[in-house]
Every structure is written in C-alpha cells, then in structure tokens.
C-alpha cells in the first residue's frame, strides 16, 4: 500500500495550470525530494496532500491508518508549508507549547528536546516577533517533528538556515529515516536533495517527474 497516492490529479488557479493528470505515489520509510521553479506548484502540491486544498480533478489517497477520526487532515503528519505563522508576542517555547496543547500528547521536556535538536536554546526569553528568520525556521522545523510525527511534509525546511544548522537538520532528518519515518521535502538546493533523498522529482510540464541527480533544472 502506498502511503500517499495521487491519481490523475489536476489543479489550476484562474487559468494558471499547475498540474495536469499527475500520477505519483510515495512509499513509507523513504525520503523524497521535490524541486521546481518559483510558482511551479510545490506548496500547492503539499497543501493538496495535507487536505488544505482540493484538486480540481483526480484524487489523493492517504493510507487509511493516517486518516482516522473523520478528519480531513492526516493524523501523525508533521508539516511546514510556506512561511508558518506564529504568535509574535510569545516566545518560541510558548508557541510550541500552545501547539502541543491541542493534542496534549507531549511534555514540556519533549518540546525543549525538539528545540535543542534544531539548535535553539529553549530558555531564551525573546518574543518570536524578534526572532531572526533562521530562528523562526528552526521553530517551524521543531514543531513538525516534536510530537514524533511519522510523516514529515517539509516545504523548504532549510530556508534561511546557516551552514552548520543545515548540516544539523540534514542529520536529524536522516536519523528520522532510520527510525522509519517518511519525509517529503522541497528544496531549491540540489546538494540538500542529493544528500538526503532516496528519490528526487521535479515539477515539469504540469507533472512530477523523477530524475537522476546529475540532471539539473
Ligand atoms: N490560493 C490560491 N489562489 C490563487 N492562486 C494561487 C493560490 N495558491 C497558489 N496560487 C498560485 O499557484 C502558483 C504556484 O504556487 P506555489 O506557492 O505552489 O509555488 P511554489 O512552487 O511553492 O513556489 P516557491 O518556490 O516560490 O515557493 C503560483 O502562481 C501562485 O500564485
Ligand atoms: Mg513554495
């Protein structure tokens, strides 16, 4: 059974065609990388996979074990799409605690561990409105996996990160794969894709095509 299967998926916005008859599937336990030019539809693709927007045609089926409780949003998916929004008047830890309180499954200690894993000190008192771009990005990455989500949908997870932080988070993601997690990420950086991904795809001609990493857009 495929974890995520897109069948004949088409999507356009007001005359801008993004996807036409896309057939692709993602299997458990692998890291997939997707690249494509600005505006080619990467974030739209992730929003469709997560059920935030619907395809115009075709269907997206998520393995039923992730679709419990009649929820449109798959369970146990950790997600970063576009620029995540946080509450500027709260610290990073407070933001993550609010998010974690929705499910109530993890302790403050586990949230702090997720922050430390991405290189953030949980005890810093700065409000998130004063965080740098890279610090905000690290909070976004931390929220995507802090509840031990088994599928990570990460739209440009390395955005705004310095070289050492990129290395740290690359290794974190590889560790997640060893634990059996599935990761689908987008990146404009071929090196990140080469380092991490079992399979690479690019958006071309309104579809997703697999390619070997020596080929570049
Ligand atoms: N809700 C919407 N209504 C209308 N058009 C939209 C909507 N969401 C996305 N689009 C358009 O769809 C196209 C693809 O957008 P998307 O954000 O998926 O691009 P992307 O590949 O993620 O680009 P980037 O590399 O800049 O992040 C863009 O032309 C965008 O303007
Ligand atoms: Mg995008």
**Ligand 1, atom nearest to 39 Cα:** 19
**Ligand 1, atom nearest to 37 Cα:** 25
- What's the angle, vertex CA 59, arms to CA 50 and CA 207, rounded to 5? 85
Question: What's the CA-to-centroid distance between 13 and ligand 1, angstroms?
Answer: 9
Question: Ligand 1: residues whose CB is within 6 Å?
Answer: 13, 16, 18, 36, 38-44
Cα 215 versus chain centre, distance: 24
What integer pLDDT is reported at residue 98 of this predicted model?
A: 96
Q: Which ligand is nearest to the CA of 37?
A: 1
pTM of the model: 0.95
Do the strands 207-210 and 4-13 form a parallel or antiparallel pair, or are they unpaired?
unpaired
d(CA 77, CA 206): 26
- Quick one: how many helices (H) and strands (E) in the chain? 6, 9
List, in order, residues 6 or more apart from 174 with CB less than 8 Å away. Answer: 31, 196
d(CA 131, CA 104): 26
List, in order, residues 6 or more apart from 144 with CB less than 8 Å away. Answer: 78, 79, 80, 152, 153, 154, 157
Q: Which ligand is nearest to the CA of 82?
A: 2
Choice from 39, 84, 201 to test ligand 1 binding pocket (greatest atom count within 8 A of CB): 39
Question: What's the CA-to-centroid distance between 42 and ligand 1, angstroms?
Answer: 8
Q: How many CA atoms lie within 13 A of 6 on its CB side?
A: 25
Q: Which ligand is nearest to the CA of 44?
A: 1
Question: What's the CA-to-centroid distance between 103 and ligand 1, angstroms?
Answer: 30
What integer pLDDT is reported at residue 71 of this predicted model?
A: 67
CA dihedral 127, 131, 186, 81 (to 10 degrees): 30
Q: State the chain's maximal CA–CA distance in angstroms.
A: 49
For residue 80, CA distances in Å to 7, 10, 12, 57 come to 24, 23, 22, 25
Question: What's the CA-to-centroid distance between 58 and ligand 1, angstroms?
Answer: 19
Segment-wise mean pLDDT, segments of 10 residues, the chain, 217 residues: 95 96 97 97 97 96 83 88 89 97 96 98 97 96 97 96 97 97 97 96 96 68
Question: What's the CA-to-centroid distance between 42 and ligand 2, angstroms?
Answer: 5
- Six-digit token string for 211: 């390619």
* Atom 27 (ligand 1) nearest CA: 38
What integer pLDDT is reported at residue 69 of this predicted model?
A: 67
Strands (E), the chain: 4-13, 16-26, 31-35, 57-62, 77-80, 151-155, 182-186, 199-204, 207-210
What integer pLDDT is reported at residue 70 of this predicted model?
A: 65
d(CA 46, CA 42): 6
């Amino acid at each position: 059974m495929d974890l995520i299967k897109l069948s004949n998926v088409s999507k356009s916005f007001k005359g801008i065609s993004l996807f036409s008859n896309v057939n692709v599937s993602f299997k458990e336990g692998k890291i997939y990388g997707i690249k494509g030019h600005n505006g080619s539809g990467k974030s739209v693709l992730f929003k469709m996979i997560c059920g935030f927007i619907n395809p115009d045609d075709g269907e997206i089926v998520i393995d039923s074990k992730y679709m419990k409780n009649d929820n449109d949003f798959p369970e146990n998916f950790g997600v970063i799409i576009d620029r995540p929004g946080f509450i500027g008047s709260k610290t990073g830890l407070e933001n993550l605690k609010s998010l974690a309180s929705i499910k109530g499954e993890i302790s403050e200690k586990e949230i702090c561990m997720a922050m430390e894993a991405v290189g953030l000190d949980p005890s810093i008192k700065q409000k998130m409105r004063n965080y740098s771009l890279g610090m905000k990005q690290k909070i976004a990455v931390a929220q995507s996996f802090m509840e031990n989500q088994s599928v990570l949908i990460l739209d440009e997870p390395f955005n705004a990160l310095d070289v050492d932080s990129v290395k740290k988070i690359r290794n974190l993601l590889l560790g997640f794969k060893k634990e059996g997690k599935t990761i689908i990420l987008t990146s404009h950086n071929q090196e990140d894709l080469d380092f991490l991904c079992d399979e690479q795809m690019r958006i071309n001609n309104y579809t997703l095509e697999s390619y070997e990493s020596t080929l570049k857009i």
